[in-house]
Copies of this chain bind each other. A is one copy, B any other.
Amino acid sequence: MYAAPVQKLIDELGRLPGVGPKSAQRLAFHLLVVPKEEAERLARAITEMKERVAFCSRCFNVSEAPECEFCTDTRRDPQVICVVEEPHDVVAIEKTREFRGRYHVLQGAISPIEGIGPDQLKVRELVARLEPEEITEVILCTNPNIEGEATAMYLGRLLKPLGVKVTRIASGLPVGGDLDYADELTLGRALEGRREVEAP
């Protein structure tokens, strides 16, 4: 019922994750109303990103070069790998300035409901890095939710027998938080992961 180019755009927008038929229609009509330059800017941003950005061939982080800035930075510890789910997790960790090793981006987490198993993730590629790069520690930095925990558990069982040190980031109370507002699970984890106070 719509002019063909409009229907085409509605169909393409409807393919995006979390965009249903109604939202696709709304977005298409929005793009129809905005000045031509604004719509063009979006189209060009998509094209340019696909042309210029891909994934690091080593760690699968977002990268404009064949290998990303972290993998090529010789000042970083090449023997410690921090395993994360998505490229934006790398950004979050970099902001802490606490980590000076390298990364491995799984590009997802194990989720049987969505049909995502280890084969859909960059797990094989992680295992293949251990020996040639002489990795001494793998830090499992997946999200502390069901999928992330399942992924960490799976990777722990897979990597431990290969003779590498495997660690998991701590769960506990967020800094600035309040005991009173913490859920039982988090408070339980905080107790379980307690550490001895060091002498000053």
List residues of A whose CB falls within 8 A of some B CB.
1-6, 8-9, 11-13, 15-19, 23, 25-33, 36, 38-50, 52-55, 62-64, 86-88, 91, 94-95, 107
CB distance from A142 to the nearest CB of B (A): 16
When the two chains form their complex, are residues B45 and A30 in contact, meaning their CB atoms are under 8 A apart?
no
CB distance from A26 to the nearest CB of B (A): 7
Smallest Cβ-Cβ distance to A9: which chain B residue? B45
Smallest Cβ-Cβ distance to A11: which chain B residue? B45
When the two chains form their complex, are residues A86 and B29 in contact, meaning their CB atoms are under 8 A apart?
yes
Q: How many copies does the complex hold?
A: 2
Smallest Cβ-Cβ distance to A87: which chain B residue? B29
When the two chains form their complex, are residues A18 and B26 in contact, meaning their CB atoms are under 8 A apart?
yes
Q: Residues of B contacting A16 with CB < 8 Å? A: 27, 30-31, 42
Q: Residues of B contacting A12 with CB < 8 Å? A: 41-42, 45
In angstroms, Cα B106 to Cα A33, docked, is 12
Known pairs A2-B88, A16-B30 / 4 extra A-B pairs, C-beta < 8 Å? A2-B62, A9-B45, A32-B55, A39-B50
When the two chains form their complex, are residues A62 and B1 in contact, meaning their CB atoms are under 8 A apart?
no
When the two chains form their complex, are residues A40 and B32 in contact, meaning their CB atoms are under 8 A apart?
no
Q: Residues of B contacting A26 with CB < 8 Å? A: 17-18
